[in-house]
Structure 1
Amino acid sequence: MTLATRHRPLHDAATGGGKDLGDLPEWDLTDLYDSPDAAELKRDLDWLEEACREFAEAFEGKLAGLHAEGLLDAVHRYEKIDVVAGRIMSYAGLRYYQATTDAARAKFLSDCQDRITNFTTPLVFWSLEFNRLEDEHLDRLLHQSQELMRYKPVFDRMRAMKPYQLSDELERFLHDQSTVGATAWNKLFDETIAGLTFEVEGEGDDLGIESVLDLLTEPERERREAAVHALSKVFGENIRTFARVHNTLAKEKEIEDRWRGMPTPQTGRHLANHVEPEVVEALRDAVVNAYPRLSHRYYALKAKWMGLDRMQVWDRNAPLPMETKRIVGWDEARATVLDAYAGFSPKMADLAEPFFDRGWIDAAVKPGKAPGAFAHPTVSEVHPYVLLNYLGKPRDVMTLAHELGHGVHQRLAADQGELLSSTPLTLAETASVFGEMLTFKALLAKTTDPRERKVLLAGKVEDMINTVVRQIAFYDFECKLHDARRSGELTPEDINALWMSVQGESLGPVFDFAEGYETFWAYIPHFVHSPFYVYAYAFGDGLVNALYAAYEESGEAGAGDFQDKYFAMLRAGGSKHHKELLAPFGLDASDPAFWEKGLGMIEGFIDELEAMEG
């Protein structure tokens, strides 16, 4: 499953802790399958087993002798297999994420994974044999068929792995054992996190993790402090399990990377994202160099607003003293986001509206439900599904805008077909962050009260710091973790020390770190599910800041042209490289000035906040 994810502090009760949020939607998964025992599901599993066997019989050992038409037929058949397998796993996975502590759903997901892994083992030859084709031969075939040429971006990504592929036998082994490797450890992590309960002083016991994380955004400082202590206590009690998960996954990755000859732990992610390492390093360096101008400066301001000489970790996401405690009902959240989307283009609102009306959003917080939020594209023949944990806070509205941006992107890219619709992570956050920016700008334009404007600006700056500064700090932590694991087993204390090594640097000198905070790496899902994913958030935010600046510079006269280019970029999915997609806007991510332009927007907001103090 490919999930476009974010993790935000949320809550745990279907009505948001007793708040009347309105009628929160739930998923209707029948567009995938009616039930786990649906006849259509059995039919697709049976078809998939036969299709994989027939594909191997038809093409294994024969790719070099195929003409253009034969290779195109192989691609189409492979793509159909990908659709059916993706449909099954999307259904099983989404059911599981609705209730990760439900043993029957966990078993159904595992059984589907096992069967599909077994069925698709005969397909392992495909990329290996394809990469053994001579460059000149493949180039000749591509130029004989325009339809085959359309798949060149897919072929390019496959062939980027050519220097790192193993023997056919070893690749089959890795494929077969995957269900008891990383996949199993991922599931252990998910089930452990979902099963944690917390006792927070003054709040009660048996709270889920979302309930406690949500307390970190409450106005009462003692409630936030109590939440941090509760989190620290339970993470500490379970830290050996989390350390075991991280040690095992990092070591497994190190072994596979070593056998493949990958030069760094990050290489696989960069290849998958179709982005050059030097571009990621330019982004990372630009953000780290900007820490003093961004997070350090902003949090010093926030400390002043809160009347504090020193800030604690439970103050980082605290609301401002002048902020009113307002609950945003579901209908208002829907109208806010759709109106902002329509303000950019009615077409964008039209693409987002079905999510609300057709069971494509699961919004309520429920026991055992996966934390955070994500948009899952399923397969190109169906539609995306969005998961939220909606509690009616203003930041939840921004999360809705973010995930709907993913949904719009995924709907538009679906026209590319299964193999070309998947967007590399570096561009996967573009539409989501752009959707947030549209919503923020629409709210800001309607705000005339200086105090409300300050609250809005500060909230946006905090979101951007969480998206850029915090995620690059996460990336540095991962780099240090994987590098250290190469030298041997890491104790929980070792991992704690690596975590703390990036916290002060990124957040700034105004912060103190309470005892227990050193374990807070334990609950971040990205480190487990998608190593080095996190830089995609910073990439997306920097890209969108530069993109939005270009949109504002286009003015009313150029708005239509910008919209056309923007929708064309989203429709492209994974069919074009980031250089090609950004060129129509006059942007280039390989230029260090590009990242400075994006960071400059955050700096400008902080400038405005500082000016309000005068």
Structure 2
Amino acid sequence: MANSTKWDLEKHFDKSKFEEQRKLWKTEVTKFAEKYRKDNSYLKDSKKLLMALEELEELETNYGSTSDEVYYYWLKSQKDQDDPKIKAKFNQIENFSIEISNQLEFFMLDLAKISEEKQKEFLSNEELKKYKHLLKKLFENAKYLLSEKEEIILNLKSQSSYSLWVSMVERLLSKEQREVKGESGESKNRTYEELLSLLKSKDKDIRDGAAKAFNDILENNVNVAEEELNAVLNNKQVNDSLRGLERPDEARHVSDDIDTSVVDTLVKTVEENYDISQKFYKLKAKLLGLQKLEYHERAVEYGNITKEYSYEDSIDLVSKTFKNLDEDFTKIITGFVENGQVDVFPKKGKSGGAFCVHMLKKQPTFILLNHKNKISDVRTIAHEFGHGINNEMMKKKQPSLYFDTPTSTAEVASTFMEDFVMQELLRGADDETRLALLMQKLNEEISTIHRQIACYKFEQELHDAYKNSGHLSKDEIGKLFQKNMAAYMGDFVEQSEGSENWWVYWSHIRRFFYVYSYASGLLISKAMQSMVKKDPKNIEKVKEFLSAGSSESPKDIFLKFGIDISKKSFWEQGLAEIRDLLSETEDLAKKLGKI
């Protein structure tokens, strides 16, 4: 099935039409803006509001804030981060996009500020039922909105006060190289991304050498990162103050349509279960024959799974697993693979890691991988394809105004699919391989839940410390970072020299308070997996969730399936599964005489 390994952007985008599309985009948005600036009867009359929202939806479907041209050049920039011409073109069209989008600011702002009496009338109107959740959320969050001119100013300054700072550090890191020894024994210049991979080497000399080089890169960039982080913290503090947000993480919760109390309960529950991650690292140190793990060794894989998984073999395995769940899933990923929507292999200048991206409902989903034939790459494919399936299921059921996944549930589909692929990998494995795979699974789950919540706690303390001091030195940031990393890692992981700077490359810290969603996503995913294992017919409920988009709040969506994410006991149930998995792994290690 796997017959295309690069994004075929020319197949999906017609560059010759970009200029024409840009003009049409501007014309249609201007027409809408002029119409409803002159006629604000949509604020008083439900029929007029319905007509206006349908026209807005049409604009969102065809243009949104990301035209084909914006999407095309963003994708190009991820393929070649070192090309200044691509970056310049993307910045140019992004500025145009912001300018166009600003013309529509007034519409939702004016609608948000109608009287409570009129709000109740619109929310109870049967003709407006389709848009009820959109309106409810808008009215609830109206208190955080500014005037039209103020909102436009915030939009216009977002690049210089945030985006350009963050992308600067990312670009500086992507250009770094150091000479280190690799698995073949050859010493040569290796990119920042290659060094990250070598940190997981089973050869201690190789991973220690890579860590020394990696720490040198971070030390080389920490002064710039200090200024960058302080700048974006200042920008956020100003924005939050203007909007009347009391907590630094409140903006994330508002954006994600989730109650702060739900996130607080999740964070507290995971923190109370840090002993799981601490025991895991103790077990890993024993299995690796080390008294303690160095900080950079926390992700080193135990065991010797020598089998390589080519991209083609990986796709076949993932496809088979998805087909056993539901044939629709396989049809969707076949489309990705055959239509040039997956970019598979590493190359210099290409974005590291992996991601799945979509923008407008009518635009294709694209997936980026850095496949190296490892067993972990199979799970990465399942994870990113899970996101892709989520996108395509939403496309079929939701209008453009609900074509979105709240952060709090964004990782449910991906971890759901990934876990079923892991079960396929475990099936039939001998005890040695099984132990290695179970350790991999635990490593991933603890990194997804405990590590991300430790990062969330770090962010909370970071923002509070900045608010109190007005500037944080690299040393102050480093101490806060190490404190929170030590809390979840425990006594069997050293906060080694150099680890105080590892916040420099952790990009999620700049996507303020995003990381809780990894933990919430996996724990909710576990509940949905249990449903399907009990009764395979429950896959229909999973498909219903995958199709829901932002049409309801996450809490209400899951209540339909008997999942109450506001209860501490719900989060404890998922953590108990991980505790049981750790006990199973310890028993197997003892059985094999490894500990």
TM range (shorter): over 0.9
- 2:575 is equivalent to residue 599 of structure 1: yes
**How far, CA to CA, are the matches of 1:187 and 1:255 in structure 2?**
21
* Secondary structure at the counterpart of residue 470 of structure 1: helix
User: Cα deviation per residue 1:439-485 (whole Å; 9 max; x = unaligned)?
Assistant: 011222232x1111111111111110110111111111111111111
The alpha carbon displacement at 1:551 in A equals: 2.3
The 1:31/1:276 distance shift into structure 2, 3 A limit, reads: farther
- 2:265 is equivalent to residue 282 of structure 1: yes
* Secondary structure at the counterpart of residue 392 of structure 1: coil
Q: Structure 2: state its 5+ residue gaps.
A: none
- 2:142 is equivalent to residue 162 of structure 1: yes
* Secondary structure at the counterpart of residue 437 of structure 1: helix
Equivalent of residue 80 in structure 1, options 58, 80, 83: 58
Counterpart of 2:23? 46
Does the 8 Å contact 2:78/2:350 carry over to 1? yes
- 2:388 is equivalent to residue 407 of structure 1: yes
Q: Structure 1: state its 5+ residue gaps.
A: 1-21
Matches within 5 A, 1:224-235: 224-235=207-218
Equivalent of residue 140 in structure 1, options 121, 127, 146: 121
Answer with 156-165 or 392-401: which moved more: 156-165
Counterpart of 2:204? 221
User: Cα deviation per residue 1:344-392 (whole Å; 9 max; x = unaligned)?
Assistant: 1222212222111111111111111111111112211122111111111
Counterpart of 1:383? 364
- 2:446 is equivalent to residue 465 of structure 1: yes
Matches within 5 A, 1:74-113: 74-83=52-61, 84=63, 85-88=65-68, 89-113=70-94
The alpha carbon displacement at 1:76 in A equals: 2.7
Q: Aligned-pair RMSD on alpha carbons?
A: 1.8
Identity of matched residues, %? 27
The alpha carbon displacement at 1:572 in A equals: 0.8
- 2:297 is equivalent to residue 310 of structure 1: no
Q: What letter matches 1:45 in structure 2? A: R
Q: What letter matches 1:217 in structure 2? A: K
Equivalent of residue 509 in structure 1, options 472, 476, 491: 491
Counterpart of 1:122? 103
* Secondary structure at the counterpart of residue 326 of structure 1: coil
Q: What letter matches 1:583 in structure 2? A: L
Counterpart of 2:422? 440
Q: What letter matches 2:375 in structure 1? A: P
Counterpart of 2:37? 60
Counterpart of 2:241? 258
Answer with 246-255 or 185-194: which moved more: 185-194
The alpha carbon displacement at 1:42 in A equals: 1.1
Q: TM-score, normalised by structure 2?
A: 0.94
Does the 8 Å contact 2:174/2:193 carry over to 1? no
Equivalent of residue 367 in structure 1, options 337, 348, 352: 348
The 1:407/1:45 distance shift into structure 2, 3 A limit, reads: same
Does the 8 Å contact 1:406/1:431 carry over to 2? yes
Counterpart of 1:17? none
Does the 8 Å contact 1:131/1:158 carry over to 2? yes
User: Cα deviation per residue 1:383-439 (whole Å; 9 max; x = unaligned)?
Assistant: 211111111111111111100000000100113122101010111111100011110
Equivalent of residue 254 in structure 2, options 268, 271, 279: 271
Q: What letter matches 1:491 in structure 2? A: S
**How far, CA to CA, are the matches of 2:101 and 2:555 in structure 1?**
34
Counterpart of 1:523? 505
The alpha carbon displacement at 1:145 in A equals: 4.8
The 1:278/1:142 distance shift into structure 2, 3 A limit, reads: closer
Q: What letter matches 1:149 in structure 2? A: K
Aligned residues: 580
Q: What letter matches 1:455 in structure 2? A: A
User: Cα deviation per residue 1:96-130 (whole Å; 9 max; x = unaligned)?
Assistant: 11111111110111001111111222211122101
* Secondary structure at the counterpart of residue 189 of structure 2: strand
Counterpart of 1:13? none
Q: What letter matches 2:260 in structure 1? A: P
**How far, CA to CA, are the matches of 2:154 and 2:107 in structure 1?**
15
Counterpart of 2:7? 27
- 2:184 is equivalent to residue 210 of structure 1: no
**How far, CA to CA, are the matches of 2:161 and 2:401 in structure 1?**
25
* Secondary structure at the counterpart of residue 408 of structure 1: helix
The alpha carbon displacement at 1:142 in A equals: 4.8
**How far, CA to CA, are the matches of 1:506 and 1:375 in structure 2?**
29
Equivalent of residue 154 in structure 2, options 174, 198, 204: 174
Q: What letter matches 2:421 in structure 1? A: T
- 2:518 is equivalent to residue 541 of structure 1: no
Answer with 234-243 or 572-581: which moved more: 572-581
User: Cα deviation per residue 1:270-306 (whole Å; 9 max; x = unaligned)?
Assistant: 01111111111111111111111x1111111111111
* Secondary structure at the counterpart of residue 509 of structure 1: helix
The alpha carbon displacement at 1:65 in A equals: 4.7
* Secondary structure at the counterpart of residue 355 of structure 2: strand
Q: What letter matches 1:543 in structure 2? A: I
Does the 8 Å contact 2:295/2:493 carry over to 1? yes
- 2:166 is equivalent to residue 190 of structure 1: no
Q: What letter matches 2:193 in structure 1? A: E
**How far, CA to CA, are the matches of 1:287 and 1:65 in structure 2?**
45
Does the 8 Å contact 1:124/1:172 carry over to 2? yes
Does the 8 Å contact 1:151/1:420 carry over to 2? no
- 2:593 is equivalent to residue 610 of structure 1: no
**How far, CA to CA, are the matches of 2:79 and 2:21 in structure 1?**
23
Does the 8 Å contact 1:471/1:535 carry over to 2? yes
The 1:413/1:171 distance shift into structure 2, 3 A limit, reads: same
* Secondary structure at the counterpart of residue 179 of structure 2: strand
Does the 8 Å contact 2:305/2:436 carry over to 1? no
Does the 8 Å contact 2:354/2:370 carry over to 1? yes
Answer with 459-468 or 124-133: which moved more: 124-133
The alpha carbon displacement at 1:588 in A equals: 0.6
The alpha carbon displacement at 1:141 in A equals: 3.7
Bigger relative CO (Cα 8 Å, ≥ 6 apart):
1
**How far, CA to CA, are the matches of 1:100 and 1:145 in structure 2?**
49
The 1:310/1:57 distance shift into structure 2, 3 A limit, reads: same
**How far, CA to CA, are the matches of 1:49 and 1:375 in structure 2?**
28
**How far, CA to CA, are the matches of 2:118 and 2:129 in structure 1?**
13
